[in-house]
Amino acid sequence: MVYEQFQKAVKESLEERLGSGYCLSLQTVTKNNGLTLDGICIGKAQEHTAPAIYLQTFYDTYQKGKPLPQILDEIIELYRTHHLPEDSFIEELHSEIPLTDRIIFRLINESANRSLLLDLPHLSYPDLDLSLIFCLSLNKSDDQLLTALIHNSHQKLWNLSTEDLYLAAKTNTPRLFPARISSLMDVIKEITMKASDTEIKEEDWAGLFEPSPLSPPMYVLTNTFGAHGAACMFYEGILKDFAERTDGDLIILPSSIHEVLMIPYSSQISYEELAQTVFSINQEEVAKEDRLSNHIYHYSKSQNHLSIAFTSSFPIGTMNP
Each residue's pLDDT, cut to its tens digit, for the chain (321 residues) gives 999 999 999 999 999 999 989 999 999 988 999 999 999 999 887 776 677 899 999 999 999 999 999 999 999 999 888 766 554 556 666 677 778 999 999 999 999 999 999 999 999 999 999 999 999 998 766 667 788 899 999 999 999 999 999 999 999 999 999 999 998 877 666 656 556 555 656 555 555 555 555 567 899 999 999 999 999 999 999 999 999 999 999 999 999 999 999 999 999 999 999 999 999 988 888 999 999 999 999 999 999 999 999 998 887 765 544
pLDDT of residue 57: 95
Closest CA to 80 of 32, 42, 125: 42
Domain boundary among 81, 106, 134: 81
Q: How many domains does the chain have?
A: 3
Sign of the CA dihedral running 42, 147, 228, 295 = positive
Domain boundary among 176, 208, 235: 176
Strand partners, 36: 30
Sign of the CA dihedral running 188, 232, 307, 256 = positive
On whether both 249 and 188 belong to a single domain, the answer is yes
pLDDT of residue 189: 64
On whether both 147 and 243 belong to a single domain, the answer is no
Tell me whether residue 315 is in a domain.
no
On whether both 211 and 264 belong to a single domain, the answer is yes
pLDDT of residue 197: 59
Q: Are strands 259-264 and 250-256 parallel, antiparallel or unpaired?
A: antiparallel
pLDDT of residue 228: 97
Q: Give the residue numbers spanning the domain of 229.
A: 179-310
pLDDT of residue 321: 43
On whether both 68 and 94 belong to a single domain, the answer is no
Domain boundary among 176, 195, 212: 176
262 phi and psi, to 5 degrees? -120, 135
- The beta-strand segments (E) located in 141-280 are 145-149, 179-183, 219-223, 250-256, 259-264
On whether both 197 and 292 belong to a single domain, the answer is yes
Q: What is the pTM of this model?
A: 0.85
On whether both 139 and 201 belong to a single domain, the answer is no
Please count the other Cβ atoms lying within 10 Å of the Cβ belonging to residue 90: 19
